[in-house]
Amino acid sequence: MKRVVLVMLVLTLVIAGGIVGYFYHTLRKPATRAADLLPEATLLFLQIPDCDRIADEFASTRLAALIREPAMQAFLEKPRQALRDAVHSAGPNPQAVRKQILAALQGEAFIAVTSITPLPKFKVGLVCGADVRRNILQARIWLAHFARTLRANNPKARFESKRHRGVAYQVWEFKPDLTVCHSFLNSMLVLALDEDDLRAVIGRFTDPTGPSLAGNPRFRDTCSHMPAHRALLAYLNPELVTGWLAPLLMFSPQGPATINNLRRLEAAGYSLTFTGGDAQEITSIAYKTAPPATNAPVARRSLALTTPDTLLYAVRTADIAAAYQELLDSVAQLRNESLATGIADFEHDLRQRGVRLRDDVLAQLGPELTLLLNWREGARLPDFAIVLQRQPGSDRAKLDTALEALKTALAGDEPWDETVAGGDTLHTVRFGANILAPTYTVTAPYLIVASTPDFMRELLGQLRQPQPNLATHPPYQTAMSRLPDGGQSCAYADLPVLVTRLLALGKGYGERLPTNDYFDPNQLPPAAVFAKHLSPYVSTTVTGPRHVITTSYSPLPVPSFVIAGAGIGAVAAWGHLNAIAPKTSSNTDVLPAPRGNRTVASQTPVPQ
């Protein structure tokens, strides 16, 4: 008996030692990079280089601090509970499953579209994976448990273990057009929707000398414009998109032009990096030839019209005449006869008045084009203005004639409401309940079109007797100092104040949303909670010989808007369904009357 026990003990130790040795040997091997496993012509590649690191870096951002606010936690509890209920209905013990999945994601994680086959049957080559690092044993156990659950719930499915080039992999076939394959390549768990795709990945794993995405010059060029310490990377191969879309676009009016524009693209990339509490986002577009526009860096002369309270300042260099020609080309491609006829009639009217639109008007405007936005506290809507630089010596009379013709085409023969401010004539057209009263004036350096005459007077006052503006505003200076020089466009937004105004505007509408199971608008945190954790948004675009690079800093990165937009869309859809459901009574409440922008002819004093 003792001999049997001793033999069993030795066998147990040998088996345990073998298992420990296997996993120790596996853990010592670094996971292969995802880009080395994917085909060179991968269509789309999304990558988180290090899940552990991105979690730590995100925790130190302003957005994370906002989410941790007790008021925000209370607001998010209802959608979280709805998500937990949905997960619970899909399977047992959702909390344990969630913790196991998140714990396994330690290193690199990725998802890639390797190919798209539209005919004879639409098919997408999808490969994804994650480096589980030290959790390889837990991941294998969890997958085995998950496979047993799937077998129990899908008795007709096929579960098979196979090998390719000495590497084991699993095939789960639920039906002929639904197959999931997976394999561990060192500590990298890779899944694919097609067995051939997974075998190709295994082939590149066992023979790393072959072509792969990591060796693709376009991919390498895209990565060279991104920070090495990035938290997220996205790469797109437009050439394959063009090849896939070409047969479909050929039947649309704009198809040929769209295909030609796509064929000029070589690669596109996006990166997200957490730094200084904000998100740095970089978008890179590479062209096979020179980019569409290579204008000179913007001088930002229109800063003279801003004040420290300006909430949005966006400026760029632009060829106005060329942009108008592109508009005409687009209209021609759309084959919109009514729009084309309207533009032709407008140009004909101008010629009758002795004005050539492109040569006498548009060619004399620019290169600086600016958008300004202010939002007074308590105002229902913001004030905004478009400012175009005028070329020295341009004909003001012909510009006035063109704007008169434009007003006639859009608003009929109603005469301008003309007022004078500091020697400048303000031309105003009023619409509806005076919520919007477009006003223009022509000064020596600018053509200014403002949303209201009062805002126009404020801009002219700032122009004639300069006061402190954004250029001397410390938050603006600090934010803009983070951007690279030489940009053809720049944008600045005072998010703390802008979000506060938007929340005040949306409050009345949110209270009237139908009751739902996803969120309670009345629990939305106060505006002060948002403002405390926000910072200004800034961005610039630099155009090089073959690249257009956009860099921005913001506390709210694009992925957060995507997530929030998906949630808002779901809530909106739910609200719409509730709204069209039969009701026993009707609610005829109306929204509160606009507190409004001052569009009447109030005479705001203008310094003389």
Number of domains the chain is built from: 2
Q: Stretch 137-150: mean pLDDT, rounded?
A: 83
pTM exceeding 0.85: no
Q: Stretch 283-305: mean pLDDT, rounded?
A: 86
Residue 81 lies in a domain: no
Tell me the residue range of the domain where 307 lies.
298-484
Q: Stretch 334-361: mean pLDDT, rounded?
A: 86
pLDDT tens-digit map of 473-494: 999 999 999 999 999 999 999 9
pLDDT of residue 571: 42
101 and 214 in a single domain? The answer is yes
pLDDT of residue 94: 47
Domain boundary among 467, 484, 501: 484
pLDDT tens-digit map of 91-140: 555 455 555 555 667 889 999 999 887 777 778 899 999 998 888 888 88
377 and 480 in a single domain? The answer is yes
Residue 564 lies in a domain: no
pLDDT of residue 218: 94
Between the alpha carbon of residue 222 and those of residues 53, 107, 215, the distances in Å are 22, 22, 12
Q: Stretch 551-571: mean pLDDT, rounded?
A: 70
4 or 386, which is more confident? 386
211 and 312 in a single domain? The answer is no
188 and 317 in a single domain? The answer is no
Residue 585 lies in a domain: no
pLDDT tens-digit map of 349-377: 899 989 999 999 999 998 999 999 999 88
148 and 239 in a single domain? The answer is yes
Residue 468 lies in a domain: yes
Would you report the helix, strand and coil content of the chain in percent, each value rounded to 5?
A: 45, 25, 30
237 and 348 in a single domain? The answer is no
How far apart CA 57 and CA 534 sit, in angstroms, is 17
Report the SS3 class of residue 485.
coil
367 and 460 in a single domain? The answer is yes
Q: Letter for the amino acid at 94?
A: P
Residue 364 lies in a domain: yes
Domain boundary among 439, 466, 484: 484
Residue 3: pLDDT over 60: no
Residue 74 lies in a domain: no
Cβ neighbours of residue 29 under 8 Å, at least 6 residues apart? 186, 187
pLDDT of residue 590: 37
306 and 455 in a single domain? The answer is yes
The dihedrals phi and psi of 362, each to the nearest 5 degrees, come to -65, -35
How far apart CA 249 and CA 258 sit, in angstroms, is 8
Residue 432 lies in a domain: yes
Contact by Cβ (8 Å): 118, 92: no
199 and 322 in a single domain? The answer is no
240 and 329 in a single domain? The answer is no
304 and 369 in a single domain? The answer is yes
242 and 311 in a single domain? The answer is no
Find tokens 């190709």 and name the residue: 200
Residue 537 lies in a domain: no
Instruction: Give the range with max mean pLDDT: 139-143, 403-407, 503-507, 591-595.
Output: 403-407
Domain boundary among 484, 500, 519: 484
